[in-house]
Amino acid sequence: MVLKRADAERKDPPETFPARIAPWFAQVIVVFCLAASYFLPYFAVSVKEAYDNREWLKTGMSGYEIDDWKREDIDMGHAVRWRNAGFKPPHASIWVSNGFEPEESGMWNDRGFSPSEAISWKDNGFTAEEASAWEANGFYDTEANDWKMNGVGPVEAAVKKKKGERPNR
């Protein structure tokens, strides 16, 4: 009897833990957690990039273009000048590494000169416009410089060259 009384007095609390959930609901939770583990960092990086690029975006550049300029280590002010001169990031970097400013590079590039050619012509005292005229008449930078030092222009030098004349040194 004593046993019966103890069993009667003992009341089990309602089962609260561990709770049972349906397997489909557990799968939904796992999928949600996996999706969140991907999207939260992606969203955080997107927000950070938008914040970092807010000044760049005011220039009208796209996110991809901004990334290209940053990858080439060209600051926003110079990037705008290079873009206005008609250059894209990798091409601009070649001119930058050769010591050219955007506007000057644009003049040489528009006339078909590479940075190394532009340097050679510049070292011989020619502007982009002058170099273009001499090159159009069939002269290289050093030869053109010899004629120029004698006071002869590109057209006249071409005529004299066809006659077999050489510049005085």
The pLDDT-based confidence of 52 (bands split at 50, 70, 90) is confident
Residue 11 confidence class, pLDDT cut points 50, 70, 90: low
Average of per-residue pLDDT across 25-45: 90
Domain ranges of the chain: 61-110, 127-169
The pLDDT assigned to 22 comes to 87
pLDDT band of residue 168 (cuts 50, 70, 90) is confident
Q: What angle do CA 42, 43, 44 make, to 5 degrees?
A: 90
Give start and end residues of each alpha helix (H) in the chain.
2-9, 23-52, 54-57, 63-71, 76-84, 89-97, 102-110, 115-123, 128-136, 141-149, 154-162
pTM: 0.67
pLDDT at position 44 is: 86
